[in-house]
Chain A
Amino acid sequence: MAHADRRIRVMQPLEIMTPERRHPVRNVLREALLVAAAGIVLAFGANLVSPRGLVLTRNYFPAGINRPVPATTGVGSPRDVANTNPPALSPAQLLAVRLKEQGLQSVDGRQAAQLFHDPRFKQGTIAFIDARDEQHYREGHIPGACEFDPYYPEKYFATVLPVCQAAEQIVVYCNGGDCDDSESAAILLRDVGIATRKLFIYTGGIPEWTTNGLPVEIGGRNSGNLRSTNK
């Protein structure tokens, strides 16, 4: 009987040990690799079929992926403080340099308001382009401005291009501050044949517009649903 017990004790470890118990670290790493491989395949597949998925080969930042951008007020974006190169330039100077590199011109709040009140705006020879996303556009945009989200340009080209081709001056804006979507939109328009000389970036964007007490339009373009933003 004692002999039999000893035999069982000797045999037990070899017979009962699972592969997982024999090579725990190796098995966990193999499992992690499996999870990683399956996850990566599924993740890229999901991005591909998702209606909001990113087009991997598109350059969403035609003005440059890693570029110095002007700081905004307060603590908000880590990019604001991380990109202080060159440190001698103020945010406004940085923006000016950036626009000049792209051959783009800028307008300030006063000039944007003048263009808005210019009779040529009603005639269609001055156009405003809103380079924010659909939600922000519908919440309030410069009255008569066309929606043009530069991250989904193909969705808007059909409506925006005729307007831009007819216009002599095109004012593109987004959220001001460190928002460079207006630049991206202007570069996209330039790349499809809109003359650079016609393109102007309203650097203050919609925050400055509303701060200046100018009206905004709610909903779609020319909805007529205006909201006053009087100071």
Chain B
Amino acid sequence: MNASQSSWSRTAADTFAVLARWLLGAVFLYMGMNKALHPVEFLKLVRQYDLVQSSLLLNSIAGALPWFEIFCGLLLLAGMAVRGTAVMLIVMLVPFTVLVFRRALAIQSALAIPFCAVKFDCGCGTGEVFICRKLLENFLFILFSVWLLAGYGRRLCVRHSLLSGDAQNQPD
């Protein structure tokens, strides 16, 4: 591979990473807004997972999580603290994906239907979705987050890294 090809592929990868960052940011902003505007509906959906026994904890999750998602979405769109935000996205997405998967398995076994025919409102902020589509979406989001965590998507950032103050570092 010569120098110009290498440069082209690096530019393409970085452009794609910036698009992925914007996509992730927009998705989290949209999903967070949907939940924040209808907190009671989100509260009922969180309740369905039987995660906590305390109303204070349940209310805290349902009341704060949508705004936290909005915050993360805005950070990604602006390009601030991108890698730290990517860590938070992974921290949210992985357990949530496991929960949704387990719930889908329970529905599948109870109704004896094909796994991909399972459709329910998982509390993601987009209403009822088919489980296979949801899992694929989450897998892609996790993949994008890992990519951003690796240091890609630094272009058009307000401040990519809060701690180093170096906004234009190349990927590690």
Contacts and interface: CB of A to CB of B under 8 A. Distances in A.
Interface of A: 18-21, 24, 27-36, 38-40, 42-44, 46-47, 50, 52-61, 65-66, 75-84, 133, 151
A133 B44 CA distance: 13
Interface of B: 36-40, 43, 47-50, 52-56, 58-60, 62-68, 70-72, 75, 81, 83-85, 87-88, 91, 103-104, 106-107, 110-111, 113, 117-122, 128, 149, 161-164, 166, 169, 172
Contacts of B161: 20, 27, 31
Contact of B68 (A21, A40, A57, A65): A40
A190 to B, nearest CB: 18
B80 to A, nearest CB: 9
Contacts, number: 158
A12 B119 CA distance: 58
Contact of A79 (B48, B70, B83): B48
Given A31-B84, A43-B64, A46-B36, A75 B107 contact: yes
Q: Interface residues of A: mostly helix, strand, loop or mixed?
A: helix
B65 A43 contact: yes
B59 A54 contact: yes
B163 A78 contact: no
Q: Interface residues of B: mostly helix, strand, loop or mixed?
A: helix
A28 B71 CA distance: 18
Shortest beta-carbon contacts, A-B, top 6: A31-B84, A20-B164, A81-B110, A43-B67, A32-B87, A79-B48
B88 A36 contact: yes
A66 B53 CA distance: 7
Contact of A35 (B36, B72, B103, B110): B72
